[in-house]
């Protein structure tokens, strides 16, 4: 298959690029390098530097080859920032995705694999969360992802675009084969912050609240290895091509770990000090967010292989420690 990977120089996108190439697919990466790195893109992929808000650049990228599928990773993802600057998030995430879809229609590309998020659900009414759980985002970032999912449904109905909306829980870890060595830039996620603290690049990890209704009072999340996400993307692409049906699925492990558990295990693995400070809860955080990925398992025959916590943390430490 021949695919264009929008945002393919970033953290998750680059892992998908390597897996696609590994399986013999043809790959073009389109990225503005705002948070991604050129070094994440292997020589065997074509690279086009461009922005999804630039419709002309996007059109010409689509016209550079006959693509079977689009993988769309390009977005702003810090939920906290989205509450401060919703206009920026609306433009980058929603308008950018409209451009991606319109260029597909214009150039006859029929399949899109879209990076959605657990943030579409909002506060969990039950755990583990399945795809039937109500979608009621509590931050603007989650709202943008849900709006894009709605756009995908309309483009499917009106323009015969087939889509896979993959709702990731917490992406973590690095390529077990060590092919990706660039650190995530300005990342607000827990594990990169834990790693940066172990490296001495930060003084401490801020733990937002220890009075949640969880075993140790800190927030519990479901961490999925980025290579497992990559495998799911390729299975989703094949599903769209073969079944010609749309797909919306969770991607997680079904197991939750608390912030303090993560810090303790990271200390063991890195053999470094990881100071932390308990501070106030953040608005919009919930006690526990855990996925059930039964549908991905049944429909895509997908199962996490690398998502044990030790594997996640060891693969991260290898990259950060270098």
Cα–Cα dist 295/302, whole Å:
9
Binding of residue 94 to ligand NAD (CB under 6 A): no
Nearer to ligand NAD, 274 or 312 (CB): 312
One residue of 2, 26, 34, 59 binding ligand NAD per CB under 6 A? 34
Binding of residue 115 to ligand NAD (CB under 6 A): yes
Binding of residue 52 to ligand NAD (CB under 6 A): yes
Binding of residue 13 to ligand NAD (CB under 6 A): yes
CB 149 within 8 A of CB 137: no
Q: In 10 A of CB 85, how many CB atoms? A: 14
Nearer to ligand NAD, 51 or 147 (CB): 51
CB 220 within 8 A of CB 214: yes
Six-digit token string for 233: 């993307």
Nearer to ligand NAD, 85 or 217 (CB): 85
Binding of residue 96 to ligand NAD (CB under 6 A): yes
Q: Give the binding range for ligand NAD (CB under 6 A) out of 34-42, 129-137, 204-212, 272-280.
A: 34-42
CB 249 within 8 A of CB 300: yes
CB 151 within 8 A of CB 234: no
The single residue of 141, 174, 257, 320 carrying the catalytic annotation is 141
Binding of residue 240 to ligand NAD (CB under 6 A): no
Distance, C-alpha 8 to centroid of its chain: 11
One residue of 3, 4, 7, 62 binding ligand NAD per CB under 6 A? 7
The site that binds ligand NAD (CB under 6 A) totals a number of residues, namely 28
Six-digit token string for 239: 């599903």
One residue of 19, 27, 36, 233 binding ligand NAD per CB under 6 A? 36
CB 36 within 8 A of CB 9: yes
What separation, in Å, do the N-terminal and C-terminal C-alpha atoms of the chain show?
34
CB 244 within 8 A of CB 266: no
- Binding track over 132-171 against ligand NAD, x by CB under 6 A: ------------------------------------x-xx
One residue of 28, 92, 270, 307 binding ligand NAD per CB under 6 A? 92
43 contact partners, CB below 8 Å, separation of at least 6: none
Cα distances from 2 to residues 45, 69, 277, in angstroms, run 11, 7, 48
Nearer to ligand NAD, 84 or 160 (CB): 84
Q: Give the binding range for ligand NAD (CB under 6 A) out of 2-10, 173-181, 201-209, 314-322.
A: 2-10
Angle at 310 between CA 80 and CA 7, to 5 degrees: 45
The nearest distance, CB 181 to ligand NAD, in angstroms, is: 14
Cα–Cα dist 236/296, whole Å:
9
Nearer to ligand NAD, 244 or 250 (CB): 250
Nearer to ligand NAD, 61 or 287 (CB): 61
CB 204 within 8 A of CB 211: no
**Residue 212 a catalytic site member:** no
Cα–Cα dist 47/222, whole Å:
33
Site for ligand NAD in 187-216 (CB under 6 A): 189
Six-digit token string for 208: 């937002």
The catalytic residues are 141
Residues that bind ligand NAD (CB under 6 A): 7, 9-13, 31-36, 51-53, 73-75, 77, 92, 96, 115, 117, 168, 170-171, 184, 189
């Amino acid at each position: 298959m021949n695919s264009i990977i929008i945002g393919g120089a970033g953290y998750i996108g680059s892992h998908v690029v390597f897996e696609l190439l590994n399986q013999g697919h043809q790959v073009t990466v389109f990225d503005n390098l705002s948070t991604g790195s050129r070094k994440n893109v292997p020589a065997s992929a074509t690279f086009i530097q461009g922005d999804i808000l630039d419709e002309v650049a996007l059109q010409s990228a689509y016209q550079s080859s006959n693509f079977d599928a689009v993988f769309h990773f390009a977005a702003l993802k810090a939920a906290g920032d989205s509450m401060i600057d919703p206009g920026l998030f609306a433009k980058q995430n929603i308008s950018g995705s409209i451009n991606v879809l319109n260029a597909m229609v214009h150039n006859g590309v029929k399949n899109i694999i879209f990076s959605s998020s657990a943030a579409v659900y909002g506060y969990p009414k039950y755990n583990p969360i399945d795809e039937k759980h109500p979608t009621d985002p509590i931050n603007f970032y989650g709202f943008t992802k849900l709006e894009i999912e709605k756009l995908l449904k309309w483009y499917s109905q009106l323009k015969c675009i087939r889509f896979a909306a993959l709702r990731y829980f917490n992406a973590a870890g690095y390529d077990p084969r060590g092919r990706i060595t660039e650190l995530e830039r300005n990342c607000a996620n827990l594990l990169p912050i834990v790693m940066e603290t172990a490296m001495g690049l930060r003084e401490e990890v801020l733990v937002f609240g220890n009075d949640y209704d969880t075993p140790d009072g800190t927030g519990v999340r479901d961490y999925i290895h980025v290579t497992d996400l990559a495998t799911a993307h390729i299975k989703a692409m094949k599903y769209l091509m073969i079944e010609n049906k749309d797909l919306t699925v969770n991607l997680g492990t079904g197991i939750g770990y608390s912030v303090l558990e993560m810090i303790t295990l990271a200390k063991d693995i890195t053999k470094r000090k990881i100071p932390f400070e308990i501070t106030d809860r953040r608005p919009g955080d919930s006690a526990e967010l855990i996925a059930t990925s039964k549908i991905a398992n049944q429909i895509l025959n997908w199962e996490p292989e690398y998502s044990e916590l030790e594997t996640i943390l060891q693969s991260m430490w290898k990259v950060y420690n270098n």
